[in-house]
Structure 1
Amino acid sequence: MRADAKKNYENILEVASVVVAKHGADASLRDIARRAGVGLGTLYRHFPTREALLEALLRAGFDELTAKARELETASSPDDALVSWLRDVIACAGNYQGVVAAMMAAMEDTKSALHASCVTMRTAGTRLLTRAQAEGLARTDMDGDDLFSLAAALAWLGDQPSSAPRAEHLFSIIASAILTNRASSDFRAQPPL
């Protein structure tokens, strides 16, 4: 990529990060281009679809979550690893309003720009869940799809003004429902989501 094209790409992503965090996943692409000081054609050359732009914004976070899951597989107790990773997934999804719907749709759409990133992240979480299940620490009647759906639901609730103040409480309830040996009060000492 030429130096000026790379600069435009990085600038668009930087601006898009701010705009999407403020206005949500349906933020105006025209506004993003204008704020980045490029034409709409330049934005579309780098990101042919809204999903491609969202994927680029989320990829780094998803890659970090995948790497963290790998570290947690051996560095923590299985139940603590699962809860820590779940909390981070919710925080990552919560950085951008409205991105949860795009993530959930991408799981089913193999042609989506977000599909591969979402599948890789879900697979990493599934390994943590399976490890906790093998140790008898997590419910055995759920799978990685269930875990991903619960994380998405909690992230979505965090986006809702009426539910945001209860996000930590709701996380505690869900975490204690996933784990077989922990009460919801065990999770309240954690910092807010």
Structure 2
Amino acid sequence: MASDGEVPRLNDLAREAGVGVGTVYRHFPTTAELAVALVEGELERFRALVEEAAVDPDLDRAVGRLLRESVALVVERPLVAKALLAAPAAVEAIEARIGSVLARARTAGAVRPDLTIDDVRRLACGIELAARAGPSPRAAAARYAEIIVAGVRPAAPKRRVATARKAR
């Protein structure tokens, strides 16, 4: 019922499941709780990914994987983004862990020194919106994620261009 990214109405869910509305409301008092329950598996896999990134000694790989997988998750499973909005405590815990990965990466010079968790959140949301606007959201999201991965790396030192002196 939730494959389109919309949280099903609790009454519709009860009818589909063949149970009474009271039963559904006992288990899921709000649609927000239902949304979280519907994507719990994806959230657990994402939490595991974040934990792996937190201990990965290769920070370039860790940050790249986090960005790519975050984007893929919200594009392929739009209900995940809605569930995260409904579960601020879960979001805070995940973002705190991602923030620690970014802090390590900034310290090591693996990412731009000004990259924040807020930047990552907004970039992922922007990619989701842009990818959905086209005919192939998954392919577009993967492409945009690669652009972002390249963009969060620290800038290469500027080189001075030597000017040729005229021979006299």
Q: Shorter-chain TM-score: which interval?
A: 0.7 to 0.9
Cα separation, partners in 2 of 1:172 and 1:124, compared to 1, 3 Å: same
- For the Cα contact (< 8 Å) 1:97–1:159, is it kept in 2? no
* Pairing 1:158-177 to 2, within 5 Å after superposition: 158-162=131-135, 164=137, 165-177=139-151
Cα distance in structure 2, aligned partners of 1:148 and 1:49: 25
Deviation string 1:15-45 (CA, Å, 9 cap, x unpaired) is: xxxx112x32243333322222222221111
TM-score by length of 1: 0.68
Aligned length: 155
Deviation string 1:114-163 (CA, Å, 9 cap, x unpaired) is: 11111111112112211111111111212112212222332343444446
Instruction: Output the amino acid matched with 1:129.
Output: L
Cα distance in structure 2, aligned partners of 1:94 and 1:172: 15
Cα distance in structure 2, aligned partners of 1:45 and 1:90: 33
* Pairing 1:97-108 to 2, within 5 Å after superposition: 97=78, 99-100=80-81, 103=84, 106=85
TM-score by length of 2: 0.77
Cα separation, partners in 2 of 1:36 and 1:161, compared to 1, 3 Å: farther
Larger Rg: 2
Deviation string 1:2-24 (CA, Å, 9 cap, x unpaired) is: xxxxxxxxxxxxxxxxx112x32
Q: Which has the higher contact order (CA 8 A, sep 6+)?
A: 2
